[in-house]
Amino acid sequence: MILTDFTKALSQLGDPRFRKVLFLGVGLTVALLVVTYAAFLALIQWLVGPDATLPLIGPVTWIDDLLSITSLVLMLLLSVFLMVPVASAITSMFLDEVAQAVEDRHYPGLPPAIKTPFWDGVRDTINFLGVLVVANVLALVLYFMFAPFALFIFWGLNGFLLGREYFTLAAARRLGLPEAKRLRRKHLGTVWMAGVLMAMPLSIPLVNLLVPIIGAATFTHLFHRLAGQQLVSR
């Protein structure tokens, strides 16, 4: 059933509202990668000096290296690690638009969704990003201790965290936050597995750029399927 939700989300990628959010999301993601990598090169030069060298890059000349083909490859590799918090942030910012597009097409006739106050959304996003970063930093120990299973640990951990965030955001639009959390706990295994399905493409450069949009749509379908007729009767 999770794959059905995922397939429905994929089938709607041509929706104009999906494309709008996709382009905005990709633009913000690429901008973040460039800024992060530029800051990384600047930090290296500041710490080591003008004669700094890096493996694969050689002497660090900042702007020249930022525009090089090698930097493009390194930024794509960096996206594997950055896309987990980026996916969460972008989904938090644009979930309403994606979810509304899904509901207009697949669940017509619903009452207006509950609007989350802007600053409440910002606060929740920052808090969750903090949890993501701390959890993944702590997980580095496990990655080194169990190197052959590092990818599976990454999928399991971030699948749990992303599933928790995606589902809560999707459900809170219709049920409010307390009821959304209750429904999430009730279906924890399903939510986790759907989160793992979203986390897996995050480890694939370029493909991971689609995850925030596909994730928001998939979990909107998942929520409606799990909530069933409870939603219609509200």
Q: Is-contact 18 101, C-beta < 8 A?
A: yes
> Is residue 59, in this structure, part of any structural domain at all?
no
53, pLDDT greater than 80 = no
Whether 142 maps to a domain, the answer reads yes
Q: Show the tokens assigned to 234.
A: 């509200």
Q: Output the pLDDT for position 223.
A: 95
Does residue 74 belong to any structural domain of this protein?
A: no
58 found inside a domain? no
Strands 53-54 and 58-59: antiparallel
pLDDT tens digits, 62-107: 445 554 556 666 666 666 666 667 766 777 777 888 899 999 999 9
- According to the model, what pLDDT value does residue 57 have? 52
The three-class DSSP label of residue 111 is coil
Count of domains forming the chain:
1
pLDDT digits (tens, 9 = 90+) for 125-147: 777 777 877 887 788 888 888 88
The per-residue DSSP string of 183-200 comes to: HHHHTHHHHHHHHHHHHH
pLDDT given at position 233: 42
Burial class of 72 by CB neighbour count within 10 A (0 to 12, 13 to 18, 19+): middle
Average pLDDT over residues 183-209: 88
The pTM score is: 0.77
Q: Which domain holds residue 205?
A: 2-26+80-232
Residue 73 within a domain: no
Could you tell me if residue 42 is inside a domain? Answer: no
